[in-house]
Amino acid sequence: MKTIRRRLAAGLACATILCTGGAAAVLYRTLLEESNELADLQLRQLAAALPDEAAAYAGPVASDPEEQFALQAWNGAGELVHAVPLAPHAPLPRQDLRGFATRRFAGAPWRLYGVRRHDTYIQVAQPIAVRERLAAAMTLRAGLPLLAAVALLAALAVAIVRAALRPLGRLADALADRSPSTLGQLAAADWPLELVPIVAALDSFLERFAHALTAQQTFVADAAHELRSPLTALKLQLQLAERETGAEERRAAMARLHARLDRGSHLVEQLLSLATHGSGYAAARMARIDPRDLLERTVADHAVLAEQRGIDLGLGVVEAAPLLGHRDGIQCMLNNLVDNALRYTPRGGRVDVSARRERGGTVLVVADDGPGIAAQHMTRVFDRFFRPDGQEATGCGLGLSIVRNIADHHRARVVLLRGPGGQGLVVEVRFPPGAPA
């Protein structure tokens, strides 16, 4: 398994090896150049020492690699008068040089120096391999401290990597200690600068997750509380229907039982809608929507219900105001607004839906001429399961909560207004320009 620690260690090791190898190559080339210069100077000195000090070179000297050479001299007649060959090599042929040159003999390169003094030609030669071995030996001697430094550097690199990654371990431990009951922010610590944005993002995520978890727990508790009453009422209504003996009484009891079932079904539908549309929408599912299509479908879906209740449901003015949003979510929002309006508008009333363009944004409007909402309840009607006292219409208090959730996810604002003359209720959902981005 690849880890950041292993990658860092491998990267540092490769970089160290490359740098060390490069440094050794440069050192070797430098020492080889210096040894060549010194060896050339020695060849010249040996040539200058003949014939006065020729006796000192009666044979090859092997004690020092620098002194491994072949020294030869020829007189004016071309006769070899001095020869100190490098064993086991045979004497080298005469080259008649004037200075330095490099030649190959028997497949091996040699460095030669030739000079003519009076009638004598002196030639001194040395194998290139001798110089290369000398440079390699000096490089090795000079490189031993470097190798020790490399080993120390490797140990330090491992320790530094381990220390540098220790905050990641602390961060992992801090996250491992979290549980659904302790989703607070990460403990304040002296985090490295590179981890600060990660810690901030994790704190933001934990905060959103805690909020979502709390909302879910509240929703489950509220749903269980609200479902208990309808189920209890259904059970009592069923028991009463079973006790009825007359056909007319039984028919009336069954009608009441159906009414209770309808109310329970409506509550379940609202709970499912709240759970679905309260969780947000993926940006990929957003699309450009023509409000006229949504409004026409809403009116068509509620036309039969409006007719049964004797309410005039109509489509008002719809300006060309396309918006970007989640089609199903906005349709659900309109359905809840119209359903609320039909529930609270008395027989013979009127409900109108419309859309207009305002300040570059789109405003969806549902207006009725019902009793409206008291001023003290204007802010609380968006709370889950809240229903003002004295309401005769059946409901579960979730419709406007669903509307608010869907509007919030579209960055829209829900405004409640009194109708003309202080009668009825006008609900406006104001979408900002281009919302949601």
Where along the chain do its domains lie?
4-157, 178-277, 284-431
Give SS3 for 377. helix
DSSP state of 179: B
Return the pLDDT at 114.
Answer: 92
CB atoms near residue 94 (< 10 Å): 13
Contacts by 44-50, CB closer than 8 A, 24 or more apart = 44/113, 44/115, 44/124, 46/71, 46/124, 47/71, 47/113, 47/114, 47/115, 47/122, 47/123, 47/124, 48/115, 50/82, 50/117, 50/120, 50/122
- Is the pLDDT at 361 greater than 70? The verdict is yes
Q: How confident is the model at residue 55 (pLDDT cuts 50, 70, 90)?
A: very low
Return the pLDDT at 58.
Answer: 40
- Is the pLDDT at 86 greater than 70? The verdict is no
Look at 48-52, 101-105, 243-247 and tell me which has the smallest mean pLDDT.
48-52
- Is the pLDDT at 320 greater than 60? The verdict is yes
DSSP state of 432: P
Q: What is the average per-residue pLDDT within 402-431?
A: 85
DSSP state of 382: G
Q: What is the average per-residue pLDDT within 350-379?
A: 84
Return the pLDDT at 113.
Answer: 92
Q: What is the average per-residue pLDDT within 251-278?
A: 66
Q: Tokens 């409000």 label which residue?
A: 291
Query: Would you say the pTM of this structure is higher than 0.75?
Result: no
Torsion of CA 402, 403, 408, 410, to 10 degrees: 120
For 383, how many CA atoms within 13 A lie in the half-sphere containing its CB? 10
Return the pLDDT at 353.
Answer: 93
CB atoms near residue 392 (< 10 Å): 8
Q: How confident is the model at residue 84 (pLDDT cuts 50, 70, 90)?
A: confident
Nearest one of 311, 315, 379 to 345, comparing CA atoms? 311
Q: How confident is the model at residue 282 (pLDDT cuts 50, 70, 90)?
A: very low
Q: What is the average per-residue pLDDT within 178-186?
A: 67
Distances (CA, A) of 122 to 48, 86, 98, 114, 247: 9, 16, 10, 6, 145
Return the pLDDT at 352.
Answer: 93
Whether the CB-CB separation of 150 and 158 falls below 8 Å is answered with no
- The pLDDT tens digits of the residues spanning 105-153 come to 888 899 999 998 888 899 888 888 888 888 888 888 877 877 777 778 7
Q: Which two tokens stand for residue 270?
A: 């609202």
Q: How confident is the model at residue 62 (pLDDT cuts 50, 70, 90)?
A: very low
The more confident residue out of 19 and 240 is: 19
Rounded to whole angstroms, the Cα distance separating 62 from 68 reads 6
Return the pLDDT at 354.
Answer: 92
Q: How confident is the model at residue 83 (pLDDT cuts 50, 70, 90)?
A: confident
Cis peptide before 230 (omega within 30 of 0): no
Return the pLDDT at 133.
Answer: 87
Q: How far apart, in Å, do the first and last CA atoms of the chain sit?
A: 40
Single-letter residue type at 427 = V
Enter the CATH code of domain 284-431: 3.30.565.10
| DSSP track, 111-172 | EEEEEEETTEEEEEEEEHHHHHHHHHHHHHHHHHHHHHHHHHHHHHHHHHHHHHTHHHHHHH
- The pLDDT tens digits of the residues spanning 185-242 come to 666 667 777 777 877 777 777 777 777 777 666 666 655 645 655 666 667 767 777 7
Q: What is the average per-residue pLDDT within 81-86?
A: 74
Q: How confident is the model at residue 182 (pLDDT cuts 50, 70, 90)?
A: low
Per-residue b or e along 179-204, where b marks 16 or more CB atoms closer than 10 Å to that residue's CB:
eeeebeebeeeebeeeeeeebeebee
The average confidence (pLDDT) of the chain is 76
Rounded to whole angstroms, the Cα distance separating 73 from 359 reads 109
- Is the pLDDT at 281 greater than 50? The verdict is no
- Is the pLDDT at 168 greater than 80? The verdict is no
Nearest one of 208, 166, 162, 170 to 189, comparing CA atoms? 170
- Is the pLDDT at 53 greater than 70? The verdict is no
Rounded to whole angstroms, the Cα distance separating 179 from 170 reads 17
CB atoms near residue 10 (< 10 Å): 11
Return the pLDDT at 260.
Answer: 65
Look at 204-213, 220-229, 261-270, 378-387 and tell me which has the smallest mean pLDDT.
220-229
Q: How confident is the model at residue 57 (pLDDT cuts 50, 70, 90)?
A: very low
Look at 164-168, 274-278, 371-375 and tell me which has the smallest mean pLDDT.
274-278
Q: Which two tokens stand for residue 138?
A: 């000096």
- Is the pLDDT at 63 greater than 50? The verdict is no
Q: Which two tokens stand for residue 129?
A: 């391999």
